[in-house]
Amino acid sequence: MIPRLARRALSFGTRRKLTQYETTADQVLALDADHRRLSTRGLLDRATELRQRVQGGTSLDEIKNEAFALAREAARRALNEHPVPVQIIGALALHDGYIAEMKTGEGKTLTAALVCALNALTGRGVHVATPNDYLAERDAAWMRPVYDLLGLSTGVITQEMDDDDRREAYRCDITYGIASEFGFDCLRDDMKFSAAETVQRGHVFALVDEADATLIDEASMPLALFGPLGDLSSFYQAIDAVVATLQPLHYEMDHRGRVALTEAGYSEVELQLQQTGLLRTSTTLHDIASISLLHHVVQSLRAHVVLARDRDYVVENGGVTIVDQLTGRPMPGRRYDEGLHQALEAKEGCVIGEETRTLAAITFQTYFRRYDKLAGMTGTAKADSEEYKEIYGLDVISIPTHRPMIRVDEAVLHSTAAGKFQAILRELEDAAARGQPVLIGAPSIERSEALAAMLEANSWRQRNPLTQNPGTSRTFAVLNAKHHAREAQIIADAGAPGAVTIATAMAGRGTDIRLGGEHADAATRAKVISAGGLLVIGTTHHDHGRMDEQLRGRAGRQGDPGRSVFHASLEDEFLKTAAISSPPTLLTEQAATIAPSVANRLIEAAQKRHGIRSFNRRLSLLRFDTIIQRQRDKFYDLRHSIRDGNDTLTLAKRLRHETIDDLINRFAVPTAPWDIAGLDQAIRSVLTLAIDIRPPSRDPKTDARALTQRIIAVADRWIAGKIASMGETTFIDILRRLMMALIDHLWSEQSERLDHLKRRIGDRGLPPHKVVAEFQLEAFALFERMIVDFRRDVTAYSMRVGILPA
């Protein structure tokens, strides 16, 4: 009862917000006549005046009606497109930081231009994130004439650009780019050695196009920068030599193929690692400091126990080649990550390849939450409204369509896969006889290729989309997410009479299918309409209902006729992986199709289970990543203060004094005998100094304080001599770069340790509610250790810089 009331309350709030937007849209439309009378110069002057008002302190909300009206008139003059009320409503929602659900064909690109023009008036930059380079370049070029009329500059970020070009693009008022490139630029900027080298200029407002793809489907995908670790062959060979001696009693493997050491295994491995010098006798593999070593032991154990030669990999030409589990074919050039491939090479006696280390990483979840204001648009958002709210703090609002939706949606659940494919062929033949265009959706590239093979076996042939007419008799095109620009052309032709196109979920996103084809005349369009419009055939349901809706949404755009039908079967993978069992009555009946009421319940249950699993997995990863990102932000805030600040000497002095305190607290504890030899060695090693250390008197605490001050005084004089010899400016510059390089190096090591900890903590059998808390506790211990390492290393290197004058 309570969830139902909550949904009703939210629905009421959404309706009230839409009513407010409709009123505002009417106010914007009322300004139309005034703006039509403006000359081109007058339009620019009005926009310039608004920019000056905003940068003088006027809020964007105070001038949004005028700004939208100006942008609307600019679109009419530049593109001969006049944004309709629902597009203004969508822009208002985006400006307020909503995820705007707008159906396919409702003009999201032009809607985005309205809100981008408004927010660009601040002069602080607007970022429009798209799923691929093609859409970024297309949308930037398409909307640039609109922005030009308003005096706003437009930039675009592509993968092949150098830093100078990127910096220029980010200086523009509105910058389009692929979502991942924005993230990578952020990572690279964090590692630059001067503020002048950075390319981005802040994270003020981001508009994410196809938001479900970036913020949901790929939300947890790490964007990472890698660097070589060097030759570690002897390390992997030493680990392999230890693991190769283990017996079955030393490890255990679960039904999912995960392997872990038993207590007997830990004891045996620790003993051998101590004998080889890889593990100190005072530590164990359970210690937090040993997490990376334990990771490589487990990877070597996987190489020996889980992966089998000539099944999972083959050894050829002196190297290890992975075998594709689906096709059984070798995949040259592919390598396992996290040191597993090196472990296999050590096991097989091959030359061990160089491993890479993650220098910096960030997920879309973490990156886009950096922006002061975030908004997104997509054709399907309601199903993920809880996740948008939970992770990004964003509400979803459904924007009404410009014209009523008249598409017919159907779904059929077959008893067998064979029956399903026969039904698809019948649909295809019927559509071909009418000259109706057909779009066939497949859940993956592999399934699309299997479907193409089935059609070819039934007297259809694949056409060349570059040379053959899309409506060529009994031909089809296969489309997948590999070559975006060519995909867009194929999908644009998919509405031609008789055209048949097989597409995966991501292929051609952002490009409309127009009835008759992209440049069809009225007669061709009328022919397709009389045939029933676009027919969308789903070959199975997707794990998430949102993906089904995206495929259906290809048909029936802006009031066009159309039909969608999903043909699925009880043998489909999405039902099996959801562990949804068929009712006993279905197993005994021999009907070719399942009753719609039963079929709907099965499909909804399967998709709900898949959705919950995916959401929980992303939420769990986010909790880990939030802890990791908090550490990274703290460390890189320090790096930025070093790079951009002017208190480098003060910081180095504080770190030096804290390092000396660390040494005293370790070797000259007041409550225990002093380790004078150990302290002398540490002072020589870290500080490069020789200090006369005498045993403590009856008051060790006072003696320790006095010794600390004496060491500090000598160390400070040593540094002062270096500064006098080298010059303060030179010394500070060296010190600043030294500190930043150490931060980059230590964070890459810390990031690796945290990744290993994240993987290993799941093997401890902890209750689910304790896993994140345990990770946070141990991650904090690793962070404290890293801070100690940082101040020690800064001190040690700074004491060695330059030559002290005679």
Least confident residue range of 29-43, 325-339, 412-426: 325-339
Least confident residue range of 27-36, 600-609, 710-719: 600-609
Mean pLDDT of the region 344-364: 88
Spatial neighbors of 430 by CB under 8 A, at least 6 apart, are: none
Residue 246: its pLDDT value, please? 93
Per-position DSSP letters for 780-797, written without gaps between them: HHHHHHHHHHHHHHHHHH
Residue 468, CB-side half-sphere exposure with 13 Å CA sphere: 17
Residue 192, CB-side half-sphere exposure with 13 Å CA sphere: 16
Per-residue confidence at 272, pLDDT binned at 50, 70, 90? very high
Per-residue tokens: 91: 């822009």
CA 546 to chain centre: 19
Per-position DSSP letters for 21-39, written without gaps between them: HHHHHHHHHHTHHHHHTS-
Give residue-wise pLDDT tens across range 44-97: 999 999 999 999 999 999 999 999 999 999 999 999 998 999 999 999 999 999
pLDDT of 363 over the 60 cut? yes
Mean pLDDT of the region 267-274: 92
Per-residue confidence at 197, pLDDT binned at 50, 70, 90? very high
Q: What are the CA-CA distances from residue 755 to residues 98, 421, 779 (Å)?
A: 33, 44, 10
Residue 12: its pLDDT value, please? 58
Least confident residue range of 5-19, 354-368, 544-558: 5-19
Local structure of 102: helix, strand or coil: coil
Mean pLDDT of the region 247-266: 86
Give residue-wise pLDDT tens across range 453-500: 999 999 899 887 666 777 778 888 887 655 555 776 787 788 889 889
pLDDT of 586 over the 60 cut? no
Percent of the chain at pLDDT > 90 equals: 50
| Mean pLDDT comparison of 110-119, 218-227, 315-324, 407-416, highest-scoring range | 110-119
Give residue-wise pLDDT tens across range 89-132: 999 999 999 999 998 778 899 999 999 999 999 999 999 999 88
pLDDT of 187 over the 80 cut? yes
Per-residue tokens: 358: 């993650």
Spatial neighbors of 322 by CB under 8 A, at least 6 apart, are: 312, 313, 330, 331, 334, 335, 336
Question: CA-CA distance, 454 to 425, in Å (whole number)?
Answer: 9
Q: What is the mean pLDDT of the chain?
A: 87
Residue 507: its pLDDT value, please? 46
Residue 326: its pLDDT value, please? 53
**Amino acid identity, residue 128?**
V
Least confident residue range of 124-128, 206-210, 475-479, 775-779: 475-479
- Which residue has tokens 């510059």? 733
Percent of the chain at pLDDT > 70 equals: 93
Residue 374: its pLDDT value, please? 97
Question: CA-CA distance, 488 to 501, in Å (whole number)?
Answer: 12
pLDDT of 654 over the 80 cut? yes
